[in-house]
Amino acid sequence: MSKEEAMAAIVACAKKLGRAPKLAELRKHTGLTKEWLAARFGSYRQALEACGLERKGIGKVEMGALFEDWAGIVRRLKQIPTRDEYAGLSKFSVKPLNRLFRSWSLVPEGMQKHAREHGLEKSWKDVMELVEQTAGKRLRPRRPAMMADQPVYGAPISGWPLMFAPTNEAGVLFLFGAMAMQLGFRALRIQAGYPDCEAMRVVGENRLQRVRIEIEHESRNFRRHAHKPSGCELIVCWEHNWAESPLEVVELKSAVERLGGMEVCAKCGNGRG
């Protein structure tokens, strides 16, 4: 099924139901899966938006579904999701929560209140603890605001041609080039299109295989860019934050730590000597 055919199927399903379908309903009526939609649209939510549809869920009855969805994402990430993280992982859009709580920063407190009012604190104890931790962090002094007209650097890296951790895809490509041989790669070709790199990879003694590689700053950007997993075999990124990746991921951040150069603070993620 092409992307256009999928959109037509989603719209037809919505007309039949009289509303935007749930993912399970869409799979039942059309055979479209979450993974298929993510590969071509980025997420189910983005597929609905491409069709001009939006899942609704701000009424009193639906608040329970919103809470379970949000709390499930918190439990999965082991942290309070940012707006972008929630948008990428939720079956809802961010609009219902924005309308309910007026500000994304107030969502954790609103969800905590809902849990208390409905006796859900015990079953979601780990989530409630993360909400409390987040509330405590808000009382700490804020970091200085970044100056818009000045460049931003990552954490310092010692022992590599790139002095600071990459903050964009180009930096990841440069660092990967510098680390390629230590990681067992020899590049064959770099290109502007997808995938970014073609290389030979050591897979055993005197044994190499060709791999197609997509370079990303964060591994989840692969999904945001709507790349087809069938187009390459490997993602090389600075930070791996996409647990559901259908492809193997090489994270340079951990490779730098393993091969020597930068020690990363577990609390703040900054490099330290």
Q: Is residue 152 part of a domain?
A: no
The range of the structural domain enclosing residue 43 comes to 3-50
Among 220, 223, 211, 224, smallest CA distance to 251 is for: 220
How many Å apart are CA 191 and CA 184, to the nearest integer?
20
pLDDT at position 249: 96
pTM of the model: 0.47
pLDDT at position 261: 56
Residue 217: Cβ within 10 Å count: 18
Question: Looking at the structure, do residues 10 and 101 belong to the same domain, yes or no?
Answer: no
List Cα–Cα distances, 57 to 30, 36, 53, 64, 212, in angstroms. Answer: 23, 24, 13, 9, 41
Q: Is residue 146 part of a domain?
A: no
Question: Looking at the structure, do residues 177 and 113 belong to the same domain, yes or no?
Answer: no
Question: Looking at the structure, do residues 118 and 72 belong to the same domain, yes or no?
Answer: yes
DSSP class of residue 2 equals -
* pLDDT band, residue 11 (cuts 50/70/90): confident
φ/ψ of 68, rounded to 5, equals -60, -40
Question: Looking at the structure, do residues 14 and 76 belong to the same domain, yes or no?
Answer: no
pLDDT at position 88: 81
How many Å apart are CA 54 and CA 11, to the nearest integer?
11
Q: Is the pLDDT of residue 67 over 60?
A: yes
Among 151, 175, 177, smallest CA distance to 165 is for: 175
Buried b (16+ CB within 10 A) or exposed e, 101-113: beeeeebbebbbe
In DSSP terms, 235 is beta-bridged to 214, 249
Residue 134: Cβ within 10 Å count: 16
pLDDT at position 247: 95
**Least reliable range by pLDDT among 39-43, 57-61, 84-88, 167-171:** 57-61
Q: How many domains does the structure of the chain reveal?
A: 3
Give the domain-ending residue among 96, 118, 138: 138
Question: Looking at the structure, do residues 185 and 131 belong to the same domain, yes or no?
Answer: no
Q: Is residue 91 part of a domain?
A: yes
